[in-house]
Structure 1
């Protein structure tokens, strides 16, 4: 019964988007608002983690801390440019190289922080 109700809700939303004038615009606006909320929560989480682990970050040393910050910056810029990068095959390759490099940088800092 619960599944049937959920299916009806999804069908009603799909019908509203398809049949109501400007329904597609409203759906796009809703997705945009949800995306902004997601990235806002993600930024809040990052700020919270920074505040809680500030001493650990300062204990890393300048070189490792710079690697961490650059890796995070590269990942953020790459994710923000995903739509443009995925328009060409070279862009797709560049996207994977940049995300892989950023991931490796964060992993290297994490490994360094676990050493005694």
Structure 2
């Protein structure tokens, strides 16, 4: 049986205990943290990019490295390929549609009522 390790999803700060060896994408799904994907974790759509400091995740494999084309140097990983090995923190970008709605609501709040 694999040991449980802490995984923190930012910017929410949601910390969960996950089985070592699980992908970040699967951990997010089980924890109710939305990460966009179309390929169901096959590293084809590249939508599941997350940012990390690299701590607590598996080393990047050649296929993921090719897909990211240098973005891994900036701390970008594919959630479907990165496996949790130890305590880790990943930053999940805001869904583009949710971000657009949030920005529109902020603009509306700033507008005068008359």
Same-fold call, TM > 0.5? Answer: no
Structure label with greater radius of gyration? 1
Which structure carries more helix by proportion?
Answer: 1
Q: Please give the range of the TM-score, normalised by the shorter of the 2 chains.
A: under 0.3
Bigger relative contact order, structure 1 or 2 (CA pairs below 8 A, ≥6 apart): 2
Which structure carries more strand by proportion?
Answer: 2
